Chains A and B, each alone.
Chain A
Amino acid sequence: MWKVLVALIVGLLAVSPLLIGIATVGPLGGKYITENNYRHFSPYERSTVYALVNDIMLYLNRILEILITIGAFFVFIMTVLEYWKFDKMYKLEQQHHGGGKH
């Protein structure tokens, strides 16, 4: 029981920033559009932060496009192979147990 209580406390603590966010800056707080946005940057600062994000995005896109393409085709091929494997296992089980109960 104490484990459930500790887990419950951790769970509530983990989502508390989101709940506080809903209550203060979300629709309930009435100020979802905050004042901290691009309008507070000077044109020079704005171009600098744009450029930084642009560089990060370029690298991130390169990494993600490779990872996600390999990941997608790998998982697809493995799923087909696993289906085949389970079919083989089921047929063997049928031979040994004569289609028993499940």
Chain B
Amino acid sequence: MTQLLRFSPAQRAAHFLVSLSGMLLLITGLPITFSDQLRWVIDLMGGSVVTMLIHRMCGLILAFSLAFFGTYFLLERITEGRRDSNLTFTLGFFIQLGKDMAQDMLWTFGLVKERPVSGKYDWVMVADIMSVPTFCLVEVITGAIMWFPFPLLQANPGLFFVFRVIHVAVAIFAIFFVFAHATILHFTPGNFPINMGIFSGLIPKHKAEGEFPAWIPVAKKLEVPEEHYTFHPIGYVVGAIACGIMGLTAYVVYLLREEGLAGFRLLQESGAAFVALNGVILVFIVYVILTFYGISKALSKSRA
């Protein structure tokens, strides 16, 4: 069966490093903000000295990955052009993405007959590609300032709290981003339990025909055997749990807003918040395990 080369080794490496360090940053960082609900994470890991060391080391990995892969992809783009990518940085491209998003939603509701004809990256993926480096950059800069506040904040050390609030706000939004990304790309029918595309770099041709039809003519084709795939209905339960935790976490954000953010610490006791935040941490731990599973499976197959 024909498979298409969807992601280069550099893209796969970037995804592995950024997702792993990002999830570990969230696992070790959220308990600082929500210490009433997530204190056990710090205790389980051996105390705040350990979690903060892991947090900072992962921050270093994230900063390095951002600079390394950012430079690499930029050089690749300059020297080799767009290749099979449809990603451009023109106003027209972004207007088209907005139209695609509207058409996609209308198609989902059965209001139009055709889905938008997408190239290699559809509107969701472009949103991912654009937002991940932006969020990471904000987190790396604000995190670095909090790590070493002086001499930058010498004139006004109180600005530390400004950077902290921005750092936490982006981190909380990142919870939704990671959940949305993983739920849509891994837990949906056709992908559950794990979409191996980002680990092996390959996508079956018949699958790409449905999702990225305009990319097929320019994609690199490989004759690689496919694994038999059947969707287990338990995937719906996993998807519902992931969406449920997201919904509850959105409620936590609503509670934070009710309290005027208060430095992003949830002051009131809430059972829903407790379930939501602990659910988030547990799901992230599962994601970390799945990341290692995916990369080891892809590596063992490439050797065989």
Contacts of A15 in B (CB 8 A): 60, 63-64, 67
Within 8 A of B (CB), among A29-83: 34, 36-38, 49-50, 52-53, 56-57, 60-61, 64-65, 67-69, 71-73, 75-76, 78-83
Within 8 A of A (CB), among B17-32: none
Given contacts A72-B249, A91-B189, contact A57 B64 (CB under 8 A): no
- Count residues of B near A (Cβ-Cβ below 8 Å): 75
CA distance A78 to B250 in the complex (A): 13
> Interface on chain B toward A: helix, strand, loop, or mixed SS?
helix
Chain A residues engaging chain B, CB cutoff 8 angstroms: 3-4, 6-8, 10-15, 17-19, 21, 25-26, 34, 36-38, 49-50, 52-53, 56-57, 60-61, 64-65, 67-69, 71-73, 75-76, 78-93, 96-97, 99-102
Q: Is the CB of B108 within 8 A of A68?
A: no
Given contacts A64-B165, A64-B169, contact A52 B190 (CB under 8 A): no
> Interface on chain A toward B: helix, strand, loop, or mixed SS?
helix
Q: Is the CB of A81 within 8 A of B105?
A: yes
CA distance A67 to B158 in the complex (A): 23
What's the minimum C-beta distance from B4 to chain A, rounded to whole angstroms? 13
Q: Is the CB of B231 within 8 A of A90?
A: yes
Q: Is the CB of A68 within 8 A of B159?
A: no
Contacts of B169 in A (CB 8 A): 64, 67-68
Q: Most A CB atoms within 10 A — which of B124, B158, B228?
A: B158
What's the minimum C-beta distance from B255 to chain A, rounded to whole angstroms? 10
Contact with B191, one of A25, A49, A86, A88 (Cβ below 8 angstroms): A86
What's the minimum C-beta distance from B229 to chain A, rounded to whole angstroms? 3
CA distance A38 to B154 in the complex (A): 9
CA distance A68 to B151 in the complex (A): 31
Contacts of B223 in A (CB 8 A): none
